[in-house]
Amino acid sequence: MSKLKICGLKTKADVEIINETQPDYCGFIVDYPKSRRSLEPNEACRLAANVLETVKKVAVFVDEPMEKVIKTMASFDMAQLHGKESESYIEELKRKTSKPVIKAVIPKDATDVEYFCKTKADYLLFDAGKGEGRAFDWEILKNVRSSRKYFLAGGLNEENIGSALDTLDPYAIDISSGVESDGKKDYAKIKRITEFLRNNQERGNNDDGF
């Protein structure tokens, strides 16, 4: 069953929520002023250091210089690239950090999806846009081969996550604004979604096939 990534952590309180609910991944947006969730690199590293080891820490970058990304990645488990980074950039980052890379993309149709699946990144993240909090047509992802692991993002929340998982089988789902209230991470919402996914996984593990 799908794993869970909570993205856009910004405060100590957010980290405490993550440590309590323990999703599979958590994300910090690094030095992207257009996002209200952006953090200076040093602050992102400081907060990430307080996340439990059982939760993978993802640093999110948008068209940042390679040297800056490599330095920041010393404090993180994975890099997420949300800009126009080239395949050569992705390969160099993987080689120099030995850490997995997620490449975020915004598909318009199934042809886009097929093209994006050729990336050298370890994972894809299909999104509607940078932090726009809206969904897109999930049907265009139906033919993604099972060997291509991807994160599903874009407008996911308690109301539509079940429908998304009925339609697709993503490696993980990525949620930010969908687990917020008044612009802040909401413990109760995150707790309910983590429990929903774990309950689904348990039901899947107990399925006898009849």
| Residue 26 annotated as catalytic | no
Determine the pLDDT at residue 206.
44
pTM: 0.91
Which is the catalytic residue, given 7, 14, 31, 174? 7
pLDDT of residue 131: 52
The torsion angles phi and psi of 138, rounded to 5 degrees, stand at: -65, -20
pLDDT of residue 203: 55
What domains are defined for the chain? 3-205 (3.20.20.70)
Please confirm, yes or no, whether 7 is among the known catalytic residues. yes
Question: E strands of the chain, at which residues?
Answer: 3-6, 25-29, 56-61, 78-81, 101-105, 123-126, 150-152, 172-175, 180-181, 184-185
Q: How many C-beta neighbours within 10 Å does residue 155 have?
A: 19
| Active-site hit among 14, 31, 127, 174 | 127
Mean pLDDT by groups of 10 residues along the chain of 210 residues: 95 98 98 96 99 99 98 99 97 98 95 94 88 71 87 93 92 96 97 91 48
